[in-house]
Structure 1
Amino acid sequence: MLTAKQHELLLFIARRLEATGISPSFEEMKDALDLKSKSGVHRLISALEERGFIRRLPNRARALEVLKVPETAGADQSPASENGSAEPKSDTVVPFKKSTATQPTAANDIVEVPLHGRIAAGAPIEAIEDFNSLPVPAALLGPGEHYALEVSGDSMIEAGIFDGDYALIRRTESARDGEIVVALVDDEEATLKYLRRDGARVRLDPANEMYEPQIYNSSQVKVQGKLAGLLRRYH
């Protein structure tokens, strides 16, 4: 069963795909559903995906495919009765016919990547949280699930990572020594550093001689992802 907003979003995506062959952008979905932020769109998309109504196509522009749509015109919650209660209504689902419109080529694809706030390239800062999304050229991403972080600080400048850059991170809980990772320390603070292991210890190395390595017990550090690419804003 779908909520009213899930149903509304599913139909909006399906109609756009039927008309153009390209699903709407997250900004268009936010505006169509009168949501305050794109994070609400992310939650709705995830719910529809979990219920088997849509699937995401990795590294494709507007990367959504509708698999089925409810046959009923309304949401699966009927209007409230006189006593204020709402009677659930089952939806009959039917396969969704894909449009034959031509999809854009992979070289021009743009992927909406979740933007999880700022991360320190310096001393660790508070753990990152979800709040927005970032359009990213698909050519910058490889396989897997990705998210983006805005870099704060200069401890990784010798690796070509500068304050204000957007670090593109492939989500993973494992990494090899020498890889640049997002490390969560004590489940509270996140930082972007080179990962080094030394027995029961983990060393998080900066790429700036002005900073000292950070050394922790291995139980204190969790890998949240590793660097896949960078985006830079020029003023």
Structure 2
Amino acid sequence: MLTRKQYELLMFIHERVRESGVPPSFDEMKDALDLKSKSGIHRLITALEERGFLRRMEKRARALEIVKLPDNMAETLRPATTRSQAQRMSPSRHGRSGSVTNLDARGAGSPRRSISEGEGSVNVPLVGRIAAGTPIEALQNKVADVAVPSGMIGRGEYYALEVTGDSMINAGILDGDTVIIQEADTANSGEIIVALVDNNEATLKRLRRRGDSIALEAANPAYETRLFGADRVRVQGKLVGLIRRY
């Protein structure tokens, strides 16, 4: 089962090739899917390759070949063709469904779509709680599995954490959210990370590098930025998305 964005991209490429004989550019695909960066297109194309729908041909510009089309996909997934249609499909904050937010590690993003029955998903281990405030505890062992839309997951290893606290609310991360983390031991300044402080306390914060020091920055003016020596902070992963229940 393809995610909605994977389906939209596959159909866009298919229609463009059928009309002109030439696949669209990455900029055209980005604009057609209303994405902010081409990195999202790269992830979607990789996912479609892995599922056997697309093939990239080396050493050729715009070298994308449609290998196959999904069976009966048009009956089960109808792509949103405008921003307003996509917004109408997003769940209400007062509803009882769940929503998925795709974020890059800088925390930019908003709820894009609801999790629907039958949508392709993968299980990611929920390994404990993480404080979006004063650090409270280190990562624990797996306590459960969380079903995550497959379109959110790329290469690498992932885990999930339940958020406690409100220090990242201005980055769209609320108390009770489940954040999806890609395992990593390095990160760029400005990215939202899971940081392990003094090998004892874990926290979800924005990383800022200040010379030989590391600042863990909240996204809530009620919380102060905390400054540590570089040897006191270890990167445990980078934020890629979150799941919120209503």
Structure 2 length-normalised TM: 0.52
**4+ residue segments displaced more than 3 Å:** none
Q: Is the aligned partner of 1:211 residue 2:223?
A: yes
Structure 2 distance, partners of 1:170, 1:180, is: 11
Which position in structure 2 is the counterpart of 1:17? Answer: none
Q: Displacement, 1:200?
A: 1.3
Q: Is the aligned partner of 1:170 residue 2:156?
A: no
Instruction: After TM superposition, list the pairs within 5 Å mapping 1:130-145 onto structure 2.
Output: 130=141, 131-145=143-157
Q: Displacement, 1:168?
A: 0.3
Unmatched runs of 5 consecutive residues or more in structure 1: 1-57, 61-101
The AA in structure 2 aligned to 1:193 is K
- Write the deviation string for residues 123-149 of structure 1: whole angstroms up to 9, x where unpaired: 001101022211111122232211000
Structure 2 distance, partners of 1:143, 1:193, is: 23
Structure 1 length-normalised TM: 0.54
Answer whether contact 1:115 1:133 (CA < 8 A) is retained: yes
- Write the deviation string for residues 163-209 of structure 1: whole angstroms up to 9, x where unpaired: 00000000000100000000000000000000001111100000000
Q: Is the aligned partner of 1:117 residue 2:128?
A: yes
Give RMSD over aligned pairs. 2.6
Structure 1 distance, partners of 2:137, 2:131, is: 9
Which position in structure 1 is the counterpart of 2:197? Answer: 185
- Write the deviation string for residues 39-67 of structure 1: whole angstroms up to 9, x where unpaired: xxxxxxxxxxxxxxxxxxx989xxxxxxx
How many matched pairs?
136
Instruction: After TM superposition, list the pairs within 5 Å mapping 1:9-20 onto structure 2.
Output: none
Structure 1 SS opposite 2:170: helix
- Write the deviation string for residues 96-138 of structure 1: whole angstroms up to 9, x where unpaired: xxxxxx99x9x93211101011000000011010222111111
Which position in structure 2 is the counterpart of 1:75? Answer: none
Answer whether contact 1:144 1:170 (CA < 8 A) is retained: yes
Q: 1:223 to 1:120 in 2, by over 3 A?
A: same
